[in-house]
Amino acid sequence: MIQEHLQKDPARTFRVLAQIKMLTMSGKAKYLFIAHGLGGGVMKHLQELADYISADVDCFFSSLVMANL
């Protein structure tokens, strides 16, 4: 029952809207880091870069799902 509720996540829309509202109030530039999901330390490097600039920039991360190449 609890797992089903968590999977449905009925508050997700409101949570996302609240997060977007908070981001618009930040005043900082927004950087989106997009990495491939193939490993090799890319995400670690991007996280280190984000840590370095986070005082001035709001950083977001996404990774691409690579199909069979």
What tokens does 39 get? 């490993």
Q: How many residues does the chain have?
A: 69
Q: pLDDT grade, residue 67 (50/70/90)? A: low
Each domain of the chain, given as residue ranges in start order, spans 2-64
Give the pLDDT of residue 66: 67
d(CA 58, CA 44): 17
- Entry pTM: 0.62
- Condensed to tens digits (0 to 9), the pLDDT of residues 29-61 reads 999 999 887 878 888 999 999 999 999 999 998
Sign of CA dihedral 15, 19, 24, 30: negative
Give the pLDDT of residue 18: 92
Give the pLDDT of residue 57: 94
Give the pLDDT of residue 52: 97
Q: How far is CA 15 from CA 18, 21, 46, in A?
A: 5, 10, 26
